[in-house]
Chain A
Amino acid sequence: MDIFQQILFVAALAAAIWYITKRVRLITRAIKLGRPEDRTDNAGERMRVMLLVAFGQKKMFTKPLVGVMHFVIYAGFLIINIEILEIILDGILGTHRLFAPYITPVYPILIDVFEVLAFGVLAVCVAFLCRRFITRVNRLQASRHRELRGWPVSDATIILSAEIFLMIAFLTWNASDSVLRDRGVGHYGELQGIVPDFLVSQYFKPFFTGFSDTALIAYERAAWWLHILGILAFAVYVTYSKHLHIALGFPNVYFSDLQPKGEMQNMPEITKEVQLALGLPLTTEPDGSQENDNGQQPAEIGRFGAKDVYDLKWINLMNAYSCTECGRCTAACPANITGKKLSPRKIMMDTRDRMEDIQRGWQTQGNDFKDDKSLLGDYITAEELNACTTCQACINACPVNINPLDIILQLRRYRVMEESQAPASWNAMFSNIENNMAPWKFSPSDRFNWADQVNESQSK
């Protein structure tokens, strides 16, 4: 490989790394808009959950067929990184199949594995495109789910097509390389006896037999470049795409909720208000409000509940970036199943859209960008929020432990406590609880009336 190609490659690699770093910084900054929350407790349990759910793909296998298909892509992605390492080193050093002479007996086995996985990825991506556009899996249809209209469908199609393209480039690159080696052309010939034909690409060789040596070298170079530039471009693209879940899925699972799903998170700032209202001694909460000991007012609290992404917790925001829009949450949501506007997937996509709008604002109008919009109202409507039964089916369904309910609850809290905007019948329920200690308008003194019937009917 000539020095010109080496320089070009290093430049391309550096540009990709520079750009990805920039994107990662921007996304990190967006996630840090959220309020702090400690999710570092119980490291052992967190590690266990991450190994099981993220590395082990446990929840994907609740749908076994899709689980296996997704696993092929996942394993292909993880393992093909070894091949990419060789390609990158070859690109920098101007070598060809750098690892081959050093690990001779293992090398062909490795490449065979990569090729089988590459073929698997190719086949599964075709199957996934069929599921979207031919068999039309309900949860992936934009006609049924408004949050998918426009960009999300294009995004999914681009990803699947790009993966197919990258795998074809990889397999035909190996095939053209094998033909050049067989013919003993230049440095390709040096690998004769070291690198044999590979498991999958050997079947692509007949396609190249009619090529002249020059044409073959041109194809081999073009395929190599397209493959690696494609991967670099894909890595940049991922930071703009729902496909970011390939990176954030892992930390997202590690930092996911460990408490029982039915437990709604406490609001310590309210505890203080309640203790003051009831004339009780203030307790210091382990999580946050410890400044109360000396009787001083704690630092000013924000609002009760969340109106915008700034009021949510950072994990809610990381959740949004980890969502791959598969819609299992929405497919399990009783409100959505029965035709209500709520879609847990849309809650997550809206949260991410809001952050991306803020990011764009930073880039065009500077770092102290603020607009008049907010997540609640401009992105998520009250009708959606009010439809939630808090049944936790969405949390249960999510393969990467995203919690849409937590966002719904925080937005509800804002509507009820800051805006007093609950539906009228909820307000009636609230006042019943407040006045009668029950959600219905019964006298508390009648609470024990049932007891009269215990003995009466038993003696019958």
Chain B
Amino acid sequence: MADMAAAGEEPEILFWVGCAGSFDDRYKRVTIAFVRILNHVGIKFAVLGPEEACTGDPARRAGNEFLFQMQAVSNIQVLNGYNVKKIVTACPHCFNTLKNEYPELGGKYEVIHHSQFLQGLINEGRVRVKDGQSFKGRRITFHDSCYLGRANKIYEAPREVLAALDADLVEMKRGRANGLCCGAGGGQYFKEPEPGNKDVNVERVEEALGTGADMIAVACPFCMTMMSDGVKNKNREDSVRVYDIAELIAQKEGL
């Protein structure tokens, strides 16, 4: 972003990578897949790079409002400094925070989740999804992220993106508004779960495996880790894969 600004250019869109997208080895592959799609369709985008900082979502939900607002106010200064208008992000937690919680602190942007963005590209015919890997005969189940679904009522966009793959989409018993959390939200990702009978992600993966799907599609970095760990817990990592919807589209596109 700094380079573009120095060159006096304005990007169409700012890609908010998020901490997981920047540092988590698994989710970095999603970031890369999404960037390849952006490059493929020729969208002029920018990222903040080292100037990006955690939105503060886990801090706020854990109760540390002070830390959240410190992060938020600094991020807003950076974003407003670059005159950012439109943001796309692959993380529903960043999405929710940027979209719903930053405006009150002075950060007003048009914020789009990458599922909506990909759906738009497919609808406009800019992504044609036919060259690469074939998904015919694969059974895919989509795991709703709480902060995409219940929090912001985005249920159909990721499903429509998956529908473009020509795979068999199967729904879990608890889906859409009744979807079961992966167990990571509200800061849970960053601590051991409280004592109980089982971990939430195991419960959710059992449900996903119950559909007979060989692929679990997610649209959130935390869901990605939790579902992958759950699949490992069930010793099914050889037969069942967890992918982000952007990766699937990139594969289909042969990118």
- Interface on A for B, CB 8 Å cutoff? 259-264, 266-267, 270-271, 273-275, 277-278, 280, 283, 304-305, 332, 334-335, 337-342, 383, 386-393, 395-396, 409, 412-417, 422-423, 425-426, 428-430, 433-434, 437-440, 442, 444-451, 453-454, 457-458
A391 near B186: Cβ-Cβ < 8 Å: yes
Instruction: Give the size of the chain B interface in residues (CB under 8 angstroms).
Output: 72
- Interface on B for A, CB 8 Å cutoff? 17, 19, 21-23, 28, 31-32, 35-36, 39, 47, 49-50, 52-54, 56, 58-67, 69-71, 73-74, 96, 100-101, 104-106, 146-147, 150-153, 177-181, 183-200, 202-204, 255
B19 near A339: Cβ-Cβ < 8 Å: no
Which residues on the A side are within 8 Å of B47 (C-beta)?
A: 448, 451
Contact of A447 among B23, B32, B152, B189 (CB under 8 A): B23
A263: nearest chain-B partner, CB-CB: B100
Q: Can you list 26 A-B pairs, Cβ within 8 angstroms, ordered by A?
A: A260-B96, A261-B151, A264-B101, A267-B65, A278-B74, A283-B106, A332-B178, A334-B183, A337-B203, A338-B199, A338-B203, A387-B193, A389-B185, A391-B186, A393-B146, A396-B150, A409-B63, A425-B190, A425-B192, A428-B190, A429-B190, A437-B54, A438-B19, A448-B50, A449-B22, A451-B49
Q: How far is the CA of A332 from the CA of B53 in the complex (A)?
A: 33
A422 near B50: Cβ-Cβ < 8 Å: no
A338 CB to closest chain B CB (Å) equals 5
Which residues on the B side are within 8 Å of A275 (C-beta)?
A: 73
Which residues on the A side are within 8 Å of B96 (C-beta)?
A: 260, 262-263
Which residues on the B side are within 8 Å of A429 (C-beta)?
A: 58-59, 62, 187, 190-191
Which residues on the A side are within 8 Å of B60 (C-beta)?
A: 264
Which residues on the A side are within 8 Å of B61 (C-beta)?
A: 264, 390, 409, 412
Q: How far is the CA of A445 from the CA of B52 in the complex (A)?
A: 10
B150 near A391: Cβ-Cβ < 8 Å: yes
A214 CB to closest chain B CB (Å) equals 60
B194 near A341: Cβ-Cβ < 8 Å: yes
Contact of B195 among A264, A305, A340 (CB under 8 A): A340
Known interface pairs A334-B204, A433-B59; 19 further A-B residue pairs with C-beta atoms within 8 A, sorted by A's residue number:
A262-B147, A263-B101, A304-B66, A335-B200, A337-B200, A338-B183, A338-B198, A338-B200, A338-B202, A341-B194, A387-B193, A387-B194, A388-B186, A389-B186, A393-B180, A438-B23, A450-B21, A451-B49, A453-B32
Which residues on the A side are within 8 Å of B179 (C-beta)?
A: 393
Contact of A417 among B23, B65, B150, B200 (CB under 8 A): B65
A266 near B101: Cβ-Cβ < 8 Å: yes
A426 near B62: Cβ-Cβ < 8 Å: yes
B191 near A444: Cβ-Cβ < 8 Å: no
B66 near A274: Cβ-Cβ < 8 Å: yes
Q: How far is the CA of A273 from the CA of B64 in the complex (A)?
A: 13
Which residues on the B side are within 8 Å of A453 (C-beta)?
A: 28, 32
Contact of A335 among B70, B151, B178, B194 (CB under 8 A): B194
Contact of B194 among A332, A386, A433 (CB under 8 A): A386
A334 CB to closest chain B CB (Å) equals 4
Q: How far is the CA of A449 from the CA of B41 in the complex (A)?
A: 23
Which residues on the B side are within 8 Å of A426 (C-beta)?
A: 62, 64, 187, 190-191
Q: How far is the CA of A395 from the CA of B74 in the complex (A)?
A: 31
Q: How far is the CA of A396 from the CA of B195 in the complex (A)?
A: 25
B178 near A448: Cβ-Cβ < 8 Å: no
B196 near A271: Cβ-Cβ < 8 Å: no
Q: How far is the CA of A275 from the CA of B105 in the complex (A)?
A: 10
A418: nearest chain-B partner, CB-CB: B63
Q: How far is the CA of A226 from the CA of B32 in the complex (A)?
A: 75
Contact of B36 among A262, A280, A446, A454 (CB under 8 A): A454
Contact of A261 among B49, B53, B150 (CB under 8 A): B150
B192: nearest chain-A partner, CB-CB: A425
Which residues on the A side are within 8 Å of B54 (C-beta)?
A: 433, 437-439
A457 near B32: Cβ-Cβ < 8 Å: yes
Contact of B52 among A383, A413, A417, A447 (CB under 8 A): A447
A283 CB to closest chain B CB (Å) equals 7
A455: nearest chain-B partner, CB-CB: B39
Q: A262-B151, A389-B146, A437-B53 are in contact. Are A277 and B22 (CB under 8 A)?
A: no
Q: How far is the CA of A334 from the CA of B196 in the complex (A)?
A: 11
Q: How far is the CA of A304 from the CA of B64 in the complex (A)?
A: 10
Contact of B22 among A305, A412, A450, A454 (CB under 8 A): A450
A305: nearest chain-B partner, CB-CB: B63
Which residues on the A side are within 8 Å of B178 (C-beta)?
A: 332, 393, 396
A392 near B62: Cβ-Cβ < 8 Å: no
Which residues on the A side are within 8 Å of B23 (C-beta)?
A: 438, 440, 442, 446-447
A422 near B63: Cβ-Cβ < 8 Å: yes
Q: How far is the CA of A95 from the CA of B100 in the complex (A)?
A: 61
Q: How far is the CA of A391 from the CA of B192 in the complex (A)?
A: 17
Q: How far is the CA of A119 from the CA of B110 in the complex (A)?
A: 55
Q: A338-B199, A339-B196, A340-B194 are in contact. Are A389 and B184 (CB under 8 A)?
A: yes
Closest CB pairs A-B (n = 6):
A262-B151, A339-B197, A412-B63, A390-B186, A437-B53, A391-B181
B180 near A334: Cβ-Cβ < 8 Å: yes
A384: nearest chain-B partner, CB-CB: B194
Q: A263-B101, A450-B31 are in contact. Are A304 and B181 (CB under 8 A)?
A: no
Which residues on the B side are within 8 Å of A457 (C-beta)?
A: 32
B62 near A416: Cβ-Cβ < 8 Å: yes
Q: How far is the CA of A423 from the CA of B147 in the complex (A)?
A: 23
B187 near A437: Cβ-Cβ < 8 Å: no
